């Protein structure tokens, strides 16, 4: 999409609609859908309707400073790109494009375990700061290999995602016959072929598409083997002992992601975790659970300012970001909006998405009468009836 056409996409909803037009139906659904009835997915977005702004416009805001400091780095705004798998399914080199756009925008990028590029290839882009997502596997040595590789590749932080030990029941994908990695039967090929621009871009990469980081003994794991299932590799018995083990192994900033209960937030601080990410996996795991925004206040209260609290899930406007900051969040991680940006315009698309958030946050702060992110607080919002 040309720069002029990208500028005509005025908000994140425009990017979602554009990506729906561009992507084959099964591919769009795999990034857009959630688990089961998708109640939590919808709740993530609608929860922001329970809070309204209360401006103090005469405080004066001739200039606004959107920068925040996180884990020894200064970000240009309180928005970063969170870990989302299979960006390379949307466009060849999708993860590399996202990382370059994040760095150019002065913010952070987190690489998914399920990326199409290796963590070493992402590091070679020079993206700074960069974080690596890890899981806990039944074979703990595989978890340790991820950690060692991330350290060797110079990642600045490690993110342990804790809500994925069982696969979510994503019924859109089941109906579409979509698997990860894709298994291309006649029906799938037919659905994909009707989106000619996407099909032409992906014609070389699609037949061999896989999770590039899954390597053992120097050889890629054959993820197309019918005996292989990623969910079988993950350990449902993951516990705080694993958190302690990773904390000992990883010397840099260590974050727990997909934490929503205040009790777990307190225990995370006590165990030396450097940050938590309030998240329900974008509504893709346990349907019917609390939205990230609704879980945020209790987690912030439990942490009591001792470590940063980040959040993701349903953030479609800069106003949503500001509401979370008022409740004590340190920054917001983007998931689907980044994917829609990759799909629509590659690096330029992600850059446009980030610019939309920056512009909207700046405008909201100006209208609230706030000059600095640090000045935002609960005094600028009120609970309201739906």
Report the alpha-carbon distance of residue 246 to residue 314 in Å, rounded: 29
How would you label 5-39 residue by residue, b for 16+ Cβ within 10 Å and e otherwise? ebeebeebebbbebbeebbbebbbbbbbbbbeebe
Q: Contact at 8 Å (CB) between 6 and 350?
A: no
Report the alpha-carbon distance of residue 296 to residue 260 in Å, rounded: 7
Q: Contact at 8 Å (CB) between 312 and 80?
A: no
- For the chain, report the end-to-end CA distance as a whole number of angstroms: 38
Tokens of 134: 């890890």
Report the alpha-carbon distance of residue 327 to residue 293 in Å, rounded: 9
Instruction: Say which of 73, 144, 156, 281 is annotated catalytic.
Output: 281
How would you label 110-127 residue by residue, b for 16+ Cβ within 10 Å and e otherwise? bbbbbbbbbbebbbebeb
Q: How many Cα neighbours within 13 Å face the side chain of 257?
A: 28
Q: Contact at 8 Å (CB) between 348 and 13?
A: no
Sign of the CA dihedral 180, 186, 191, 196? Answer: positive
Report the alpha-carbon distance of residue 225 to residue 206 in Å, rounded: 16
Instruction: Identify whether 281 is a catalytic site residue.
Output: yes
Q: Contact at 8 Å (CB) between 291 and 47?
A: yes
Q: Which residues contact 234 (CB under 8 A, 6 or more apart)?
A: 135, 136, 137, 138, 164, 165, 166
Closest CA to 37 of 334, 315, 289, 313: 289
Q: Contact at 8 Å (CB) between 163 and 286?
A: yes
DSSP assignment letter at 309: E
**Catalytic positions:** 281
């Amino acid at each position: 999409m040309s720069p002029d056409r990208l500028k005509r996409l005025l908000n994140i909803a425009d990017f979602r609609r554009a990506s729906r037009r561009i992507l084959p139906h099964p591919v769009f659904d795999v990034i857009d859908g959630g688990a089961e009835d998708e109640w939590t997915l919808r709740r993530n977005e609608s929860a922001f309707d329970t809070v309204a702004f209360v401006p103090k416009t005469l405080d004066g805001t001739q200039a606004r400073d959107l920068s925040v400091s996180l884990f020894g780095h200064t970000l240009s705004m309180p928005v970063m790109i969170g870990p989302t798998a299979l960006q390379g399914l949307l466009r060849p080199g999708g993860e590399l494009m996202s990382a370059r756009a994040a760095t150019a925008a002065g913010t952070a990028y987190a690489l998914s375990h399920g990326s199409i590029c290796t963590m070493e290839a992402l590091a070679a882009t020079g993206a700074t700061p960069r974080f690596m997502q890890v899981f806990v596997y039944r074979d703990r040595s595989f978890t340790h290999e991820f950690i060692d590789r991330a350290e060797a590749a110079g990642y600045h932080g490690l993110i342990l995602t804790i809500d994925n030990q069982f696969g979510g029941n994503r019924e859109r994908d089941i109906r579409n016959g979509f698997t990860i990695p894709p298994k291309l039967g006649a029906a799938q090929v037919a659905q994909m072929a009707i989106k000619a621009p996407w099909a032409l871009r992906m014609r070389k990469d699609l037949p061999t598409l896989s999770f590039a980081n899954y390597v053992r003994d120097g050889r890629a794991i054959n993820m197309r083997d019918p005996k292989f299932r990623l969910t079988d590799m993950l350990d449902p018995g993951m516990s705080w002992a694993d958190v302690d083990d990773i904390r000992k192994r990883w010397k840099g900033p260590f974050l727990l992601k997909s934490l929503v209960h205040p009790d777990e937030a307190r225990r995370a601080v006590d165990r030396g975790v450097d940050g938590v990410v309030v998240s329900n996996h974008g509504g893709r795991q346990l349907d019917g659970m609390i939205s990230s925004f609704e879980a945020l206040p209790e987690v912030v209260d439990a942490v009591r300012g001792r470590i940063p609290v980040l959040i993701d899930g349903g953030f479609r406007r800069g106003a949503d970001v500001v509401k979370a900051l008022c409740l004590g969040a340190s920054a917001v991680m983007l998931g689907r909006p980044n994917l829609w940006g990759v799909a629509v315009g590659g690096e330029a698309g992600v850059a446009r998405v980030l610019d939309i958030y920056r512009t909207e946050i700046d405008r909201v702060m100006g209208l609230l009468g706030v000059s600095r992110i640090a000045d935002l607080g609960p005094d600028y919002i009120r609970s309201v009836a739906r």
